[in-house]
Amino acid sequence: MTLLSVSNLKTSYGKTNVLTGVSFHVDEGETYALVGESGSGKTTLIRAIAGLAPAQEGSILFQGHELRGLSDRKMRPFRKDISLMFQDPVGSLSPRLTVGGLITEPYRIQGMNNRDLNSEAIRLLEMVGLPADMAGRYPFQLSGGQARRVGVARALALEPKLLLADEPTAGLDVSVQGELLNLLNDLRDQLGLSMLIITHNLNIVRHVSDRMGIMYLGQLVEEGTTEDVFHHSKHPYTRALLSASPKPDPHAKMDRIILHGDPPSLLKRPSGCEFRSRCPFAKDICKETPEWNETHGHKVRCFIPLS
């Protein structure tokens, strides 16, 4: 059953349009990863879904309810089922509250403080593998890893149906990254959670997501199951991204696609296929705007997809 379905979502700030019609869906219990570099609009997208950023056009259906344009008051009941995890682990914790207070903040906001909040706090700390005496600490006394776990505990306090995670492993060393991803995987299986993760790090996507989409300049350019996209990527940009993360192996063969030039600015978007200016395979036809072409679940927006 489809939990979240986003169709033709458009956002713009003043004259710069950031998202130019994004469509995808996340099924129940599925983890969907959105991969894109800085300036691809992925943070704007996830914040639009969480109701923190305005979206001018398109629709965001959550279990059939339209969320786009809802006032804060009407949106509040849905906030129980959708929770957002932020990129900066310490920065997303209100500095003057203790960890115990932070974790039980969702209960207070949703007016569910008739229960014993202390025991809830201990339960949640337990769930993310933090000692109970952590509840008395303030955010500035936490390490990156610990703050990240408090963020997870807070996000899962009301057992949401959909967890939105903005760069969950940003700023973590490789050795600590694994710990957090394992925690997310365990909790997903325990609570039957659906997750939408956005990141620029392709390596972690392969181990966490069921389906994934590649974003470029506010548009999805390729989408499919993670295995499909990794082994048979079709869009030149995806292929460049995949080849761009060097393997820790000195003899790895280097059939790499190097993109020349910088991504065009959102102010003056190229006409037709917006990747045309950097694509090594660009042809005349690319001056037109490519539409989706789909082969059994694997979509790509390119006139001459790579084999």
Residues within window 20-79 making contact with other proteins, judged by CB under 8 A: 37-38, 47, 50-52, 72, 75-76, 79
The amino acid at residue 92 is S
Stretch of 1-9, 54-62, 87-95, 282-290 contacting other proteins, by CB under 8 A? 87-95
Q: Which of 21, 29, 58, 145 binds other proteins (CB under 8 A)?
A: 145
The structure tokens listed for 154 are 């807070």
> Residue 176: which region, alpha, beta or left (left: phi > 0; alpha: psi -120 to 50)?
alpha
Query: CA 153, CA 212: separation in Å to the nearest integer?
Result: 25
> Residue 64: which region, alpha, beta or left (left: phi > 0; alpha: psi -120 to 50)?
left
CB of 303 to other proteins, least distance (A): 21
Stretch of 14-22, 238-246, 267-275, 294-302 contacting other proteins, by CB under 8 A? 238-246
- Is 61 or 170 the residue whose CB approaches other proteins more closely? 170
CB of 305 to other proteins, least distance (A): 19
Stretch of 4-12, 21-29, 57-65, 125-133 contacting other proteins, by CB under 8 A? 125-133
- Is 245 or 284 the residue whose CB approaches other proteins more closely? 245
Residue 159 as a binder of other proteins (CB under 8 A): the answer is no
Cβ(221)–Cβ(303) below 8 Å: no
- Is 203 or 289 the residue whose CB approaches other proteins more closely? 203
- The residues that bridge with 194 in the sheet, in sequence order, are 162
- Is 9 or 205 the residue whose CB approaches other proteins more closely? 205
Element of type H or E holding 32: strand 31-36
CB of 147 to other proteins, least distance (A): 11
State how far the alpha carbon of 300 is from the alpha carbons of 57, 78, 253, 267, 293, in Å: 23, 32, 26, 25, 6
Query: CA 241, CA 200: separation in Å to the nearest integer?
Result: 9
Residue 272 main-chain phi, psi, to 5 deg = 65, -140
- Is 64 or 246 the residue whose CB approaches other proteins more closely? 246
Query: CA 20, CA 105: separation in Å to the nearest integer?
Result: 35
The structure tokens listed for 183 are 């925690």
Residue 131 as a binder of other proteins (CB under 8 A): the answer is yes
CB of 23 to other proteins, least distance (A): 23
Q: Which of 20, 44, 83, 199 binds other proteins (CB under 8 A)?
A: 83
Residue 109 as a binder of other proteins (CB under 8 A): the answer is yes
Residues numbered 249 to 288 that lie near other proteins (CB under 8 A) are 249-250, 252, 254, 256, 258-260, 262
End-to-end CA distance of the chain: 32
User: Which residue reads 């703050």 in tokens?
Assistant: 147
- Binding-site string for other proteins from residue 171 to residue 210, where x marks contact by CB under 8 A and - marks none: --xxxxxxx-xx--xx-------------xxxxx-xx---
Residue 126 as a binder of other proteins (CB under 8 A): the answer is yes
Nearest to 180 by CA among 130, 134, 131, 225: 130
